Amino acid sequence: MTTVPTINDITLAELSENPYPIYARLRKQAPIAWVPAANIILVTRFDTIKYIDTHPEFFPAFNPQSLQIRAMGHSMMRKDGEDHRLERAVLQKSVNSDTIQGYWMPRFERIVDELIDGFRDKCEADLFTDFAAPMASLCLMEILGLTNVNWQDLCDWSQTLMDAVGNYGDDPQIWARQQQVSSLIDKALDQMIEIKRATPDPTFISQMANSETLSLEQIRANVKVIIGGGINEPRDATCTALYGLLSNPEQLSLVREQPSEPMWGKVFEEAIRYCAPIGMYPRRVAKDMELEGVALKRNDQLGLVVASACHDEKYWDHGDRFDINRKRCTHLAFGTGPHLCLGFRTARMQVGQLSVPSLIARLPGLRLNPEKAARFGGWVFRGPLSLPVKWNL
């Protein structure tokens, strides 16, 4: 048994620029490693991460040092056991299969079509800012039930909360902005709670406001978690899927020739494997133990790098390539175990059935703009920062 190795030559800037070569090195040389720049022990192999996520008795989600709790309050994402199950059960009613297909899909389809109608005649756009960001924000406003704000503010709030959750460098300006945004969210939420109590519907806020088990503090924390993760996942998955297809003409031709739901499902799953929108999340060590030959101490902070797990050589050859023809293998982009992402079915519908197929179908000759390169960034949360494209009338 060895102590946790320390890797000093990794910087946050390098991780944000392109973390995947760093992850490959860690998987090979130090799959459980203390990285001082991130102030956390990074775990980078698929099997180890899956073991941790499916054994919450040894690696609980609750952590009094959690940046997420500091940024958003104590939501269900940082709870374990019965406390977690009870809160999740309240929200689950909004995203079961019947509600997604019968209630949310028509509303999301209208949003997608109206956004495309707004720029279709221009023949050029940045699909990150002109489509994916407003699409994800408008859809989240609907499913959350926070319709008394505008989509631009919700995008800004989401990014501010994500910056705070990923603030491993402890930047005081990020915390100051987080506090401002938190107050704005609380004000908007308090208004909608009263409305939803009077007129219940399938939205998240309605389900929580009309539950007899959740306090105002619990509602506020869970709403902030949903705002944080509910925009970046569908936004970034949409842009990543499009980037992958437009960068690989033979794969683009294949989905155009076979535009079936299973084919679009492959596109979605490969996109979030190729670039997991949530690249890392934390867990705490409950007691002194040995893991993969490494000695861990009680209250050690672990960062489960699912973005690395999704490129693990044991399961994927050439994991840095976008390839919808891969043999199906379960990835960890949605996590696993009791904290499997609550919105995974909604994201599959939103991206795999609506946003990406609609753009490919309605923008003839859609292609990357050769004069403006697409940009990716981030590591705790990673995705395209811009996706300039052109198409024909």
3 assigned to some structural domain: no
Residue 339: what pLDDT? Answer: 83
pLDDT tens for 154-167 read 999 998 998 898 88
85 assigned to some structural domain: yes
Q: How many CB atoms lie within 10 A of CB 175?
A: 15
**Per-residue tens of pLDDT for the chain, all 393 residues:** 799 999 999 999 999 999 999 999 999 999 999 999 999 999 999 999 999 999 999 999 988 888 889 999 999 989 999 998 999 999 998 999 999 999 999 999 999 999 999 999 999 999 999 999 999 999 999 999 999 999 999 999 998 998 898 887 889 999 999 999 999 999 999 999 999 999 999 999 999 999 989 999 999 999 999 998 888 899 999 999 999 999 999 999 999 998 888 899 999 999 999 999 999 999 999 999 999 999 999 999 999 999 999 999 999 999 999 999 998 778 998 888 888 888 889 999 999 999 999 999 999 999 999 999 999 999 998 999 999 999 998
Residue 331: what pLDDT? Answer: 92
Going by C-beta distance under 8 Å and a sequence separation of 6 or more, which residues neighbour residue 190? none
CA separation for the pair 348, 269 (Å, rounded): 8
Residue 44: what pLDDT? Answer: 98
Going across the sheet that includes 301-304, the strands are 32-35, 40-43, 301-304, 281-284
Give the Cα-Cα-Cα angle 178, 195, 200 (nearest 5 degrees). 110
CA separation for the pair 382, 281 (Å, rounded): 12
CA separation for the pair 173, 100 (Å, rounded): 38
CA separation for the pair 165, 381 (Å, rounded): 10
Angle between helices 261-274 and 249-257 (to 10 degrees): 150
CA separation for the pair 275, 300 (Å, rounded): 27
**Six-digit token pair at 280?**
């890392």
CA separation for the pair 261, 357 (Å, rounded): 9
- Which residues, listed in sequence order, are joined to residue 282 by a DSSP beta bridge? 303
CATH classification at residue 141: 1.10.630.10
**Six-digit token pair at 64?**
């009094």
Nearest alpha-carbon partner for 281 in 23, 68, 15: 68
CA separation for the pair 54, 33 (Å, rounded): 20
Residue 258: what pLDDT? Answer: 85
Residue for token digits 């490969």? 270
Domain range spanning residue 203?
12-390
CA separation for the pair 252, 292 (Å, rounded): 41
Distance of CA 57 to the CA centre of its chain: 25
pLDDT tens for 346-361 read 999 999 999 999 999 9
CA separation for the pair 278, 32 (Å, rounded): 19
What length does the chain have?
393
pTM, two decimals, is 0.93
Alpha carbon separation from 316 to 15, 18, 330, 337 (Å, rounded): 21, 19, 10, 21
**Six-digit token pair at 259?**
């535009």
342 assigned to some structural domain: yes
CA separation for the pair 366, 283 (Å, rounded): 41
- Which residues, listed in sequence order, are joined to residue 126 by a DSSP beta bridge? 388
Residue for token digits 């999301």? 108
6 assigned to some structural domain: no
93 assigned to some structural domain: yes
CA dihedral 338, 144, 269, 79 (to 10 degrees): -20
17 assigned to some structural domain: yes
CA separation for the pair 116, 98 (Å, rounded): 26
> Are the C-beta atoms of residues 239 and 128 closer than 8 Å to each other?
yes
**Structural domains in the chain (count):** 1
Give the 3-state secondary structure of residue 215.
coil
CA separation for the pair 131, 388 (Å, rounded): 11
CA separation for the pair 84, 81 (Å, rounded): 6
372 assigned to some structural domain: yes
7 assigned to some structural domain: no
